[in-house]
Structure 1
Amino acid sequence: MLRLRFVLLACCCLTGLRADDFGARYDALRAAATPAQLYTFLYALPKGGDLHNHFGGANRAEWMWAVLTDPTRNGGDTFYARERFAAAPDAIAATARHHTVRQATYDQLSPAVQREYVALTAMTAAERRGWLDGFRLDAPGEGRDVFFDDHWPRLGDINDNPHVRFELLAENIKAFAAEGLRYLELQFGVTGLHHNDLTPLSDDEALALLEARLARPDVADTGLVVRFQEMVLRFAPDAEAELAKTYAWVDAHRDRWVAINMAGIEENGHGYPLRFLETYRRLRAQYPTLPLSIHAGEMDSPDRNIRETLLLGASRIGHGLNLLGDPETLLLLQHSDRTLIEINLISNRLLEYVPDLDRHPFPELLRTGVPVCLNTDDRGMWDSNLTDEYYTAVTHYNLSWAELVALGRNSLTHAFVEEPTKARLLADYDAAVTAFEQRFAAGSVADALALLDDVAPVTYGYGHRNWGFPFAEVSR
């Protein structure tokens, strides 16, 4: 046992030395790289996991359009969006514009309302552009209110169709795998789905369709490990009952579902953490432990929500933005490796919680010992990817090579995946980082930067708008 400990300590020391050695090379590469080359380098960088990801907000508008207009991918359904109004357009609520429904829902509308809906396949070019833009936060003046009040209601029936839901899941998996991700933990459910005639799918039917889609070669061959969380809307009137149902579901499906999450805008005070303390204690008396990752501290002002969310049993905190305003809890987390803060830089900027990212708490948390990782949150509605998060972090906070590697490792160390798979993912990540270092350590700095010519990075609207990158907007 003593010999094993010595070997492990030696390996850890060598890993640290190796990271430090490449750190100087990384600094030289950063200094010499153009912004586009730095982005390409980070796109090729091996990454750990994306742990904070709302599936409903993760789907790019172009992906949704492609699936909704292709009957071979959407189960033979037809989709309509509300685009043509009898009243003056400025008299129509923003939430009504682009509201999207399935054929069976459309058939139930009155003739007058049907005339305001247009089949996606019959839209004009201008209507299509408007529909696409209606699902992303990309215009001046858009922010938190547009996101919460307009974008989500517009989704309508999109995620009610199981074929659409699972095709969009496949698009996410393929895009993340292309960025070098190893593990994806989505807030994703399969209950409450409906056939084209709106009769409900049973849970067994939905699970069978899900597993069949994940088994197809385009997804399976990516090698990306995928697990799910079930999410409870915490400010709902019946949130305690929903939490109990969700707990039972996850307990019964632990092969795919690994955790409970609670979300919902914190400004709505009805979802305060202590509301659920007795419910969680009752559930823990009934079921073996389930991990909890709960949104907390996504607020403009200090409060005790993070501390009280830890009391619920959470071992991961989503956002944690106002943690610096609670020094006692900050000190607790600085001296404990148990709790990870899931950082979402682009989300926090676009939703105006941290409009000036130079004032974000991320670097203070990172550099005072609080475990953190980078995540995409609602990447489809930001029109962004995980590389955008890394590029934002590197350019705003001067991240070192050791810090970049630690972010990926933290995401896997704190993943809720089963332990044998976690060990494999960590070993694979370490090996990939070593190979990456060796590749870019060879030759001169100019030689290393020339290797980036063989990388085909992908960026979307966020990268185009904010940095002017010329890279293609493709799914993979």
Structure 2
Amino acid sequence: MYKFFIIALLLVGSSVRAEGDWFESFKKTATDKDLYHFLYAMPKGGDLHNHLSGAGFPEWWLELALAQEKRGYIYYTKIKINNCAGYGGNEFGGNPYLLYFKNIQESTYKKLSACEQSEYVRLQDMSAEQKAGWLNSLKLDSAHEGRDEFFQTHWQRLNELYMNHYVLAEILVRNMQAFGREGLMYLEIDCSPVGMRPDGSLIDAEEVYRYYKERLQQKDAVESGVTVKFQYALLRFAPNAEERLAQMYAFVDAHRDMYVAIDMVGREDNDKGHPLRFLPTLRKLRAQYPGIDLSIHAGEVDEPNKHIRNTLLLGANRIGHGVNLLTDPDTYLLMRHSNYMVEVNLISNLLLEYVDDYSKHPFPELLRTDVPVALSTDDRGMWDSNLTDEFFVAVKEFNLSWSELQTLGLNSLKYGFMNDELKTKLVHDYQKKMDKFAQQFQKGSQRVLSSKPPMRGFICNHYELCSTP
């Protein structure tokens, strides 16, 4: 890792360190819409914190679910609650009964009682009003919604939809295409090799892996220009999490061409997933498997605690979120000028109420005291956002310089878990693109700002960009 940093610094040279006076002048005169257009056109490095099952926009989910009928998949969604006897739901687990727009396969539907079946409708048969409700149910876009809505209903509504690897593969490719239009070069995404057949039986992980690999080799994926690597996601508070972790290590070790790391995910304020639970298991696994990286969610909580420190003790090289890092001064000092990076998700942290407003976010303190950070999108389909939105928030709220923008882009590549050869190439290509972009902008800014980037819900609602001339 140290050797690579030296190479990267040589590639970057003085251009990253030099302050962009032209960018400061642009910020002083640019409208918010001008700034957004600029940031959309700006080359971007990588998105290192992205959950595939949370990266699909609601309209994508619906369109792709309906398209699966040709493969034998029919989906039903819950539109009524008839208080059926013996429903067997678990309101505080993964199968809540009192939840509208929960999606199930036809194989599951056929096993329900007649009363429960009367609560569901095929996706194909939804009324216009039901369709609007279905689409809205997968977005976190209302003031009364927050982390409980997200953690306890969004995933439970998707339910058996995100067990369809054909749907997820298409969501992945659509993300690649959309990110490619934003100028992204590298995507490191949580993608677990799971799938379900129309009859409800599970598909072997090897078969799912082969399908993803073949899908990424098709023309539309390749032409996106985005390089993709996978992480295997572990739900940290699951009762069998240690057993699953051992299985994941074995799978990642056998499929290093596509899988580069394991990511521990899940609501951190569920104490059953506390970091030190996994220390004995990880030490045993490291004695067996060489060089498997860890990226672990930590510090995504309200109260001060030692979770980030304990996560580093587990062997993680990257910290997901790290919102409460400043409440642990010893760990904060350890991470300054270090090889440990914080994956910053500004929109996620606001919508899930880990910060009340951006003035409370630790991001600028971390960035400007040399804790390595990079911006990422987390569950962008549920936020109705993109990576440009993250950069817009960062520049708008924290007055980022051109040098800082480049640092964020470089970090998002330097701290990726890809091999050194690919990393060196991507860093080199990124710097060339950024230099060319800056030169072209300074020669004629209208060329850059003439594009009309798509603006989605978050940026439209939070900054009202879509209503401005």
What is the TM-score of this pair, normalised by structure 2? 0.92
Q: Secondary structure at the match of 2:233?
A: strand
Q: Distance in 1 between matches of 2:7 and 2:380?
A: 42
Q: Which amino acid aligns with 1:314?
A: A
Q: Distance in 2 between matches of 1:217 and 1:414?
A: 28
Deviations 1:170-199 (A, max 9, x none): 1111111111111001111113x1222223
Equivalent of residue 259 in structure 1, options 258, 261, 265: 261
Q: Distance in 1 between matches of 2:8 and 2:306?
A: 39
Q: Say whether 1:388 aligns with 2:383.
A: no
Equivalent of residue 51 in structure 2, options 54, 68, 74: 54
Q: Say whether 1:187 aligns with 2:183.
A: no
Tell me: CA distance 1:317–1:35, structure 2 relative to 1, closer, same or farther (3 Å): same
Alignment of 1:163-242 (within 5 A): 163-191=166-194, 193-242=195-244
Tell me: CA distance 1:113–1:11, structure 2 relative to 1, closer, same or farther (3 Å): closer
Q: Secondary structure at the match of 1:69?
A: helix
Partner of 1:142: 145
Tell me: CA distance 1:9–1:153, structure 2 relative to 1, closer, same or farther (3 Å): closer
Q: Distance in 1 between matches of 2:412 and 2:97?
A: 37
Contact preservation (8 Å) 1:95, 1:154? no
Using the TM superposition, give the Cα deviation of residue 203 of structure 1 relative to its aligned residue in structure 2, in angstroms.
Answer: 2.6
Q: Secondary structure at the match of 1:156?
A: helix
Q: Distance in 1 between matches of 2:395 and 2:53?
A: 28
CA RMSD of aligned residues (A): 2.1
Contact preservation (8 Å) 2:373, 2:411? yes
Partner of 2:416: 415
Q: Secondary structure at the match of 2:104?
A: strand
Using the TM superposition, give the Cα deviation of residue 65 of structure 1 relative to its aligned residue in structure 2, in angstroms.
Answer: 1.0
Q: Secondary structure at the match of 1:70?
A: helix
**Worse-matched range after superposition: 339-348 or 114-123:** 114-123
Using the TM superposition, give the Cα deviation of residue 45 of structure 1 relative to its aligned residue in structure 2, in angstroms.
Answer: 0.8
Partner of 1:108: 111
Q: Distance in 1 between matches of 2:145 and 2:452?
A: 31
Q: Distance in 2 between matches of 1:7 and 1:104?
A: 54
Q: Distance in 1 between matches of 2:81 and 2:164?
A: 26
Contact preservation (8 Å) 1:75, 1:163? no
Contact preservation (8 Å) 2:232, 2:252? yes
Tell me: CA distance 1:9–1:207, structure 2 relative to 1, closer, same or farther (3 Å): closer
Tell me: CA distance 1:469–1:412, structure 2 relative to 1, closer, same or farther (3 Å): same
Q: Secondary structure at the match of 2:287?
A: helix
Q: Which amino acid aligns with 1:183?
A: Y
Q: Say whether 1:424 aligns with 2:425.
A: yes
What is the TM-score of this pair, normalised by structure 1? 0.91
Q: Which amino acid aligns with 1:63?
A: W
Q: Distance in 1 between matches of 2:200 and 2:116?
A: 20
Q: Distance in 2 between matches of 1:268 and 1:302?
A: 15
Percent identity of equivalent pairs: 46
Contact preservation (8 Å) 1:84, 1:118? no
Using the TM superposition, give the Cα deviation of residue 212 of structure 1 relative to its aligned residue in structure 2, in angstroms.
Answer: 2.1
Equivalent of residue 469 in structure 1, options 459, 465, 468: 465
Deviations 1:383-428 (A, max 9, x none): 1111111000101000000000110100100000111111111111
Partner of 1:369: 370
Using the TM superposition, give the Cα deviation of residue 16 of structure 1 relative to its aligned residue in structure 2, in angstroms.
Answer: 3.9
Q: Which amino acid aligns with 1:431?
A: K
Q: Which amino acid aligns with 1:195?
A: R
Q: Which amino acid aligns with 1:47?
A: K
Q: Say whether 1:34 aligns with 2:31.
A: yes
Deviations 1:69-116 (A, max 9, x none): 2247x734221110134369xxx9785200011222222222221221
Unaligned 5+ segments in structure 2 are 1-5, 85-90
Using the TM superposition, give the Cα deviation of residue 454 of structure 1 relative to its aligned residue in structure 2, in angstroms.
Answer: 3.1
Q: Distance in 2 between matches of 1:54 and 1:250?
A: 17
Partner of 2:281: 279
Contact preservation (8 Å) 1:95, 1:151? no
Partner of 2:3: none
Q: Distance in 1 between matches of 2:8 and 2:376?
A: 30
Q: Which amino acid aligns with 2:411?
A: N
**Worse-matched range after superposition: 124-133 or 198-207:** 198-207
Tell me: CA distance 1:103–1:11, structure 2 relative to 1, closer, same or farther (3 Å): closer
Contact preservation (8 Å) 1:77, 1:196? yes
Q: Say whether 1:64 aligns with 2:61.
A: yes
Contact preservation (8 Å) 2:8, 2:424? no
Q: Distance in 2 between matches of 1:321 and 1:8?
A: 28
Partner of 2:159: 156
Contact preservation (8 Å) 1:244, 1:283? yes
Q: Say whether 1:460 aligns with 2:460.
A: no
Using the TM superposition, give the Cα deviation of residue 335 of structure 1 relative to its aligned residue in structure 2, in angstroms.
Answer: 3.3
The runs of 4+ residues in structure 1 deviating greater than 4 Å are 6-13, 92-95
Deviations 1:240-283 (A, max 9, x none): 11111111111111111100111121211111111111111110
Tell me: CA distance 1:102–1:83, structure 2 relative to 1, closer, same or farther (3 Å): same
Unaligned 5+ segments in structure 1 are 1-5, 472-476
Tell me: CA distance 1:125–1:415, structure 2 relative to 1, closer, same or farther (3 Å): same
Q: Distance in 2 between matches of 1:310 and 1:13?
A: 30
Q: Distance in 2 between matches of 1:418 and 1:12?
A: 19
Q: Secondary structure at the match of 1:286?
A: coil
